[in-house]
Amino acid sequence: MPGDFAVDLGADTVRAPRLVLASGLGNADLAPLVGLSAPLRPERGQILVTERARQVLALPTHVVRQTEEGSLLLGDSKEDLGFDTLTQTPAIMRAIARRAVQTFPWIAELNIVRAWAALRVMSPDGKPIYDASERFPGAYIANCHSGVTLAGAHASLLAPMIAAGALAPDLSPFSARRFHVQKTA
Amino acid sequence: MFRRRPEARPATQDRLVEVFVAGRPIRVPEGASAAAAVLLSGAPAIRTTPVGGAPRLPYCMIGICFDCLAEIDGVANRQSCLVPVAPGMRIEPQIGARVARADDTAPEAA
Amino acid sequence: MIYDLAIVGAGPAGMAAGIEAAALGLSVTVLDEQPAPGGQVFRAVEAASGDAALAGEFRDAGGALAAAFRAVRGIAYRPQTTLWHLDPEAGLLSVVSGGATAEIQARRILLATGAQERPVPIAGWTLPGVMSAGAAQILLKTAGAVPDGSVVIAGQGPLCWLLAVQLLRAGVERLTLLETGSGGAFRDALRAGGLWTGRKLLAKGLALMRETRARGLRVVRNVRDLRAEGDGRIRTVRWRQGSRDHALACDTLLLHEGVIPSTHITRALGLDHDWDARQLCWRPRLDRWGATSHANVAVAGDGGGIGGWEAAAAGGRLAAIDAAHRLGRFDAAVRETRAADASKARHAALALRPFLDRLYRPGPGVLAPADDTIVCRCEEITAGQVRDAARLGAAGPNQVKAYLRAGMGPCQGRMCGTVVAGLIAETRGTSMESVGALRPRAPFKPMTVGELANQRPDAIPELTA
């Protein structure tokens, strides 16, 4: 109901006047429940993680970064494999390793202790989706493929808008309506 | 600590190899691992942990505990229990997290 | 080339499987991370054959098996080669050796990667001078070395007795065995039966015990609450017996609470596993030939369930015979005939297992130690921290890994995975089956970025006998 949302968690039900759907790829199914659309697809990326090393890389690059604990994360790949995060591809892992070594030759000495794959939350044009529901005022959706990068914007710009009850007009390019327009064009 | 038993294996089979543990020479049977050399040398630790700086010596000797990580011939974090000794091998304790040897213009390691 | 069978592991199961497969005319390669065959139970058997302390089965049976393995033509044996990824569907093994990675193709894969000693998390177990019992045995086998000073074996299981004999023969003068294990275990074990069929093994065990008595081993029974204490290395071992506390000066503490299958690779492949409530470990689900839940993958040896080297060798033979059958060399009836001897041998070798499993069943503290005990040695996470995470809502070891980093170190969860799961099960009042296990991924063992980047276009050179 507008202004009165109930979320059923099985054992509990939570009620609130505002609802923000921020469940990543899950928004594709949840958004229509509040009259919105979130056309998202999973884009897989694989990451190699090295053993801890003393701090050597103060600034992150797009494909190599060092965590506070000292591990280096090496990426990235872009794969279209649906929701599979378990299959690993030696060829892609090798390509990631080669690129990292080309970038920083000293990385060759570090041991890879683990690797994993995860799914990016991709909109058709790669840009975020922010929408406020017209049929169910108080309901919003928020999607992007780099919530870490945009955390500052989400916390200090988006959250106050939601609290105030309306998204600012300069967020309108991020509405999912832009995809419908393309479809009918 | 550990000690060899020179009487145990026939001289023809038991060739000794000289390696250096923390700079000190020690002779160990051919085929023994670098971790065995460390235990025979009486060194108090083979590494200190990257998280808490705790001293460790080898635990499992079969390559699954990773407590035997040592710097061998200049290469950091090698599983010394899986590395057979070779003449002149230099085995140094692995102190905390390894150094990533970036070039000289990189920021100095903390 | 595409091999008929790729065997990972050159212990008793891998060696026996390789010999049998070659005899059946299959093209076979055997990969092993060590420089010489033997696995762990027969580690360095070729080099250590002169050592009187190791006389007996190790030298005789192990030596013979290694010699037979070396003598076979038609086995492409690749030592110092580590498997880091496996695509069972494509039959593609990604390996690393000599500073580079390469690929091997096979129609069928047999994992014979064996077992590991169960980690025994007690207070102070990370102190220098505390090791697994098997580690001391390996030092004896590979370097002819023995521990100095006051040596204590703490725990339970056949290996404790075998090691005690070997150390005493090798000249250790101050040796104490602190046996954990409850008083009722023996009565429970007798109910398991199998003592007549397994009489050979039983006699061996009793002979070992007699020899330790003759050589003056001090044995303390019903030991609980073991603690290792010292400044920078172990100096004292403490325990409780009944209502009394005890302490003993100790220079080397050797822990042992049995052996458990190495399921690292089978878990990474997502194969089906069952929790063995007797042996308190996970094992891959196998049929009598060692076939797993994936059509192209089989397991033989202790990696499928602890049974000892004779059962492992027999299991290796069965898996090789099954491989030949599945590859179309002969039909099921012929498979039965060819497998008759190995099946019988395996059955006999496993006869005493139920008795031993009950006799040496680890106490609850082994899977769920006290709060101040480190459980993740790599990241130095304590049991108390894991219990807190479980109370916060971490329902399985993969979640605890995300909360605490337990399992993110270089051992990839081999030392902590089952204990973390045991702590979660205890805290949340659930079963080991529902808690589940850590999900490892490739690389199955750490390798350098450079090794991964370097690929040899041709296969790694092999040693053929």
Note the pLDDT tens digit of each residue in B13-29. 568 999 999 999 999 99
* C378 token code pair: 């790599």
Residues 6+ apart with CB under 8 A from A82: A42
Judged by a CB distance cut-off of 8 A, whether residue B55 touches chain C is yes
Judged by a CB distance cut-off of 8 A, whether residue C263 touches chain A is no
The residue type found at C96 is: V
Judged by a CB distance cut-off of 8 A, whether residue B52 touches chain C is yes
pLDDT value for A167: 95
pLDDT value for B109: 38
C44, C131, C232 member nearest B31 (Cβ): C44
pLDDT value for B9: 66
- Residue B21, class by beta-carbon neighbours within 10 Å (0-12 exposed, 13-18 middle, 19+ buried)? buried
Task: Encode A166-184: b = buried (16+ Cβ within 10 Å), e = exposed.
Answer: ebeeebeebbbeeeeeeee
Which helix (H) or strand (E) element contains residue C100? Answer: strand C100-111
Supply the mean pLDDT for chain C. 94
Q: Are A74 and C449 inside 8 Å of each other by CB?
A: yes
Judged by a CB distance cut-off of 8 A, whether residue C457 touches chain B is no
The residue type found at A6 is: A
Chains with ≥3 CB–CB distances under 8 Å to C: A, B
Residues 6+ apart with CB under 8 A from C153: C133, C160, C163, C164, C175, C176, C177, C178, C254, C256
B77, B99, B110 member nearest A111 (Cβ): B77
Rounded CA-CA distance C22/C29 in Å is 9
Closest CA to C421 of C360, C366, C362: C366
Residue A124 neighbours by CB distance under 10 Å: 14
Q: Best residue in B39, B40, B46 to probe C by mutation, most C CBs within 10 Å?
A: B39
C441, C447, C449 member nearest A88 (Cβ): C441
Residues 6+ apart with CB under 8 A from B11: none
Query: Of A5-9, A83-87, A127-131, which has the strongest mean pLDDT?
Result: A127-131
Tell me how far CA of residue C22 lies from CA of C4, C9, C351, in angstroms.
10, 16, 29
Rounded CA-CA distance A182/A174 in Å is 14
> Strand, coil or helix: what is C153?
strand
Which helix (H) or strand (E) element contains residue C152? Answer: strand C150-156
The pLDDT of C202-214, averaged and rounded, is: 91
- Token pair 């390894």 is found at B98
The pLDDT of C260-264, averaged and rounded, is: 97
Tell me how far CA of residue C220 lies from CA of B73, C175, C180, C190, C363, in angstroms.
44, 11, 9, 22, 17
Supply the mean pLDDT for chain A. 92
Rounded CA-CA distance C325/C318 in Å is 11
A106 DSSP assignment: G
A112-121, B2-11, C364-373, C380-389, range with the lowest pLDDT? B2-11
Say if CB A40 and CB A121 are below 8 A apart. Answer: yes
Q: Are C410 and B66 inside 8 Å of each other by CB?
A: yes
Instruction: Tell me the pLDDT tens digit for each residue of C431-462.
Output: 999 999 999 999 999 999 999 999 776 555 55
What does pTM read for this prediction? 0.91
Rounded CA-CA distance C202/B13 in Å is 34
Instruction: Tell me the pLDDT tens digit for each residue of B34-67.
Output: 999 999 999 999 999 999 999 999 999 999 999 9
The pLDDT of C217-230, averaged and rounded, is: 96
Backbone region of residue C56 per phi and psi (left: phi > 0; alpha: psi in -120 to 50; beta: other values): left
Rounded CA-CA distance C353/A95 in Å is 48
Q: Are B64 and C44 inside 8 Å of each other by CB?
A: no
What angle (nearest 5°) sits at the alpha carbon of residue A97, between those of residues A96 and A102?
A: 100
Residue A13 neighbours by CB distance under 10 Å: 9
Look at residue C123 and tell me whether its pLDDT is greater than 50.
yes
- Residue A135, class by beta-carbon neighbours within 10 Å (0-12 exposed, 13-18 middle, 19+ buried)? exposed
Chains with ≥3 CB–CB distances under 8 Å to B: A, C
* A94 neighbourhood in chain C, CB within 8 Å: 101, 452-453, 455
Rounded CA-CA distance C255/C315 in Å is 28
C61 DSSP assignment: I
Rounded CA-CA distance C438/A60 in Å is 30
| Ramachandran angles phi, psi of C389, nearest 5° | -60, -40
Name the band, by pLDDT with cuts 50, 70 and 90, for residue C261: very high
Residue C285 neighbours by CB distance under 10 Å: 14
Rounded CA-CA distance A128/A170 in Å is 13
Task: Concatenate the DSSP letters of all residues of C255-287 into one string.
Answer: EEE-EEE--HHHHHTT--EEEETTTTEEEE---
Instruction: Tell me the pLDDT tens digit for each residue of C263-275.
Output: 999 999 999 999 9
Name the band, by pLDDT with cuts 50, 70 and 90, for residue B5: confident
Name the band, by pLDDT with cuts 50, 70 and 90, for residue A2: low
Q: Best residue in B65, B101, B105 to probe A by mutation, most A CBs within 10 Å?
A: B101
Say if CB A23 and CB A121 are below 8 A apart. Answer: no
Measured in angstroms, the CA of C396 and the nearest CA of chain A are apart by: 17
